[in-house]
Amino acid sequence: MVGSLCFVTSNKNKVKEAEAILGVRIRCIELGIREIQEIDVEEVVKNKAARAYKELKTPVIVEDTGMY
Is 61 strand, coil or helix?
strand
Which of the pair, 55 or 65, is modelled with greater confidence? Answer: 55
Q: Is 6 within 8 Å of 56 (Cβ atoms)?
A: yes
Element (H, E) at 41: helix 41-56
pLDDT value, residue 22: 86
Rama region for 53: left / alpha / beta (φ>0; ψ in -120 to 50; rest): alpha
Is 32's pLDDT higher than 90? Answer: no
Report, as an integer, the average pLDDT of 15-33.
Answer: 89
What pTM did the predictor assign? 0.76
Report, as an integer, the average pLDDT of 23-41.
Answer: 89
Is 67's pLDDT higher than 70? Answer: no
pLDDT value, residue 10: 85
